[in-house]
Copies of this chain bind each other. A is one copy, B any other.
Amino acid sequence: MTKKTKVGLIQLKISKNRELNINKAIKQINEAAKKGAKIICLPELFLNEYFCKVENHSNFKYAEKIPGKTTHMFCNLARQLKVVLIISLFEKKMSGIYYNTCVTINEKGKIISKYRKIHIPDDPGYYEKFYFRPGNLGFKNVKTKYGEIGSLICWDQWFPEASRLTALKGSEIIFYPTAIGWHPKEKRKFGSTQLDSWVTIQRSHAIANGIFVAATNRVGYEKKGNRKIEFWGNSLIIDPNGKVISRLNSKKSGILVCAIDFKKVENARQHWPFLRDRRVDAYRDLAKNSKND
């Protein structure tokens, strides 16, 4: 296994037209691969506008089987381009059971990992608890030709438990397909703090675990009724010292291709030996309800 690779993040403005979204994603993946990206990650639920803006039963029509038509298409693409692909889908397991799921496909076109979003938000405009059963497959690490990788999804990124458990499984990089943005009414007053918190918490996962972190977000306005979100882009890659080494802006679709060297993980963990000093004997209350729950 080589220690150097290139990572590609696809930042997308999503339209109402699903075919257009797929074609755009494929085009961008091709371009990232052409620039040498070996592990390519797409934003959360990139096939459609972010339907969780509202609670509407008709949106369940977007759910699909895994494996299914979409994974089949992206498996072919991964094989053609010889890249690892991380794609986020609205999974229908059976009637009544739906997940926010992330699939990792290897360079031979095979699905090698499936992660179901464990932390589900419910916030004005992010009504995910209405759609998704909380993930039941645990945290995931998968060995690929290009490195050991974990994937988490959006809201998971606020939970240090999630990044820690993924890192402990062996991941050297964690990918976060994401759909996060500003409520336009709040942006002026809270916008910069919110974005800064988002960057900071992800940098903290890199620091605490000595791990690369890569988040890819959608971008631009989406509107449904009176519910409007401006997705803030800012897809980024952070090194194991917590330094942002590559970042897109909040303005438009784009590709980020970034060379990374997994030896930095080893180096960071030797110099900041936090994993050595964890006190598992003192942590049991993390895994149960506290007296305050």
Contacts and interface: CB of A to CB of B under 8 A. Distances in A.
Interface of A: 118-123, 134-135, 138-139, 155, 158-161, 164-165, 168-170, 193, 196-197, 200-201, 203-204, 207-208, 241-243, 272-274, 277-292
A135 B134 CA distance: 36
Contacts of A196: 242
Contacts of A288: 280
A282 B155 contact: no
Nearest to A276: B122
A158 B243 CA distance: 16
A168 B288 CA distance: 11
Given A119-B278, A159-B208, 11 more contacts: A158-B207, A159-B278, A161-B282, A161-B286, A165-B286, A169-B290, A169-B291, A169-B292, A200-B203, A204-B208, A283-B286
Contacts of A170: 292
A242 B282 contact: no
B168 A292 contact: yes
Contacts of A284: 287
B168 A164 contact: no
B290 A287 contact: no
Contacts of A135: 282
Contacts of A292: 168-170
A170 B168 CA distance: 28
A242 B277 contact: no
Given A158-B208, A169-B290, A200-B207, A193 B134 contact: no
A283 B242 CA distance: 24
8 A-B pairs closest in CB distance: A204-B204, A160-B160, A283-B287, A284-B287, A168-B290, A286-B286, A119-B277, A197-B242
